[in-house]
Every structure is written in C-alpha cells, then in structure tokens.
Structure 1
C-alpha cells in the first residue's frame, strides 16, 4: 500500500469533519434538531443512492441487502446520536474549537481498551506517551 492510499482516507475524514462541525455549529437554534437531522439524512440518502448506482453493484440489490448485518442498523442509530450530541453540545455553549477536541480525545481514549480487548491491538511506549499527553491536555482544556 502506498502512502497516498494510506493517508487519503484520513484527509477525507478530517476535511469532512471540518465541514461537519461548521455546519453543526451553524445550525440555527430555532430549528428543531430532529428536523435538521431528517433533512441531513434525506440528502445523505440521495447522495449515497447516486454513488451506489454510479459505482454499480456486483449483484442485485436484494442479494446485497441480504448480506447486511446488525452493523448498518447500529451505525444508523449511532450516527443520529452523534449528530444530536454535537448539535446540543454547541447549543449548550461549547466552542467549535474545543467541543470537538474534547469529544474526539475522549473518544480516542475510550477506544483504547476496545482496540486492545476486541481487536488485539498493541500499544507501544510512544502510544502510551501520546495517551498521557492527551489526558494532560484534557485536564488543562477543562480547567
């Protein structure tokens, strides 16, 4: 795997997250958050349908749907909870510069034992130093 193939998805994630947080922070407080999410997901569903059709299916849609498992449904629930959490965090007064940072560092720290226990990931000394620095950073951010 070359470096471009390795880093391009991270660049996409970071770029999308910048726009995601700007849009979420800019959602009017007078708008029902669930209506906002409904419109968001209708647009996302349409775009996903277009991309799926443009990319083609190796088999029929029915066969493809049969291959789905619980993860697609759980991911849908998770994404709605995530988006609602960000909308309410920003409405509660979190700054865009800190809300996402605190949430993402907290998430990364919570995923460490999951990675170790479920996916047999290994932590190096450098990882442990980085984790410690993140914890120190969270302490200072929230003071």
Structure 2
C-alpha cells in the first residue's frame, strides 16, 4: 500500500486540478489567475517544508539547486496555462485530459528510450497503437 499513495495523491489532485482549471472565470486574465495560484502554491509548499522537516534549513536546501526545479516551474506554468486556455476555447474536460495523456504516453516512450535507456518493447509499440486508435475514436 505504501507504493500506491503517491498515485492516489496524483489522481485526486489531478481531478481537483482539472475541475479548477475548467472553472477559472472566462473573463479573468489567465496570468492573474496563475499569479494567485502560484502565491497559494508557494505558501503551501513553504508551510509543508517547515512542517515536514525537524531541522528545516531552506537556504541550505536551496544551495543544492540545479536547473531541474527551475525548468519544472516553467513546465508547470506551461501545463496550467495550456489547460486553462484549452478549456476557455471549449475543450471538454473529459477529452482534453485524455488527448494530452495519450500523446504524452506516446512521447514518453521515446523520451524514456532516448534519455534513460529504457527499452521499447513490442508491448509498448502495441500500447502506442492503442493510444493512437483511442485518440481517433474519442475525437469522432
């Protein structure tokens, strides 16, 4: 069970995320919404950092910084802005997430092979074909 909780957290958070992204007022500027989102996120992250560490030394942790957290921040903004705009232009919540997930699954097979030496197996190729067939069917 200890291996499952992160996936449960991701799924539950993603459900709330999709509902909230779809609920951003259409007449609200996306970047204003993002500013509030990240202020709340920064406060929550800071509180959790201090609550979860017996001897929290934020500056000491920041000294370990590499490009990954910076690029992660940029990518998360891209994800959120993309979803909010997708919903503003009319994508259904049930379709937008499914379409991006299928494309992401296909792309990550190649990313895994190129960057992490993961093997592309016949089963993965079949999975790619199923994802693409699913995209075709869901968009009909």
Indicate the residue corresponding to 1:9 in structure 2: 6
Q: TM-score, normalised by structure 1?
A: 0.91
Aligned length: 140
Residue 128 of structure 1: how far off its partner (Å): 2.5
Which segment is superposed worse, 131-140 or 92-101? 131-140
Matches of 2:54 and 2:80 in 1, distance apart? Answer: 29
Q: Let me know the Cα RMSD of the aligned residues.
A: 1.4
The equivalent residue for 2:88 is 91
For CA contacts below 8 A with separation 6 or more, give which structure has more relative contact order: 1
Which blocks of at least 5 consecutive residues in structure 1 are unaligned? none
1:78 Cα offset (Å): 0.7
Instruction: Say which SS state the counterpart of residue 39 (structure 2) adopts.
Output: helix
So what's the TM-score if we normalise by structure 2? 0.93
CA–CA distance in 2 between the matches of 1:57 and 1:37?
Answer: 31
1:8-47 correspondence runs (5 A): 8-47=5-44
Q: Which runs of 5+ in 2 are unaligned?
A: none
Determine whether 1:48 maps to 2:45.
Answer: yes
Q: Hey, what's the Cα distance between the residues in 2 that align with 1:44 and 1:125?
A: 41
SS in 1 for 2:26: coil
Residues 59 and 51 of structure 1: CA distance in aligned 2, closer, same or farther (over 3 Å): closer
- Residue 58 of structure 1 deviates from its aligned partner by 5.5
Alpha-carbon distance between aligned partners in 2 of 1:94 and 1:101, rounded to the nearest angstrom: 11
Structure 1 equivalent of residue 67 of structure 2: 70
State the 1:33 CA deviation. Answer: 0.7
Matches within 5 A, 1:64-143: 64-143=61-140
Deviation string 1:57-78 (CA, Å, 9 cap, x unpaired) is 6563222111010111111111
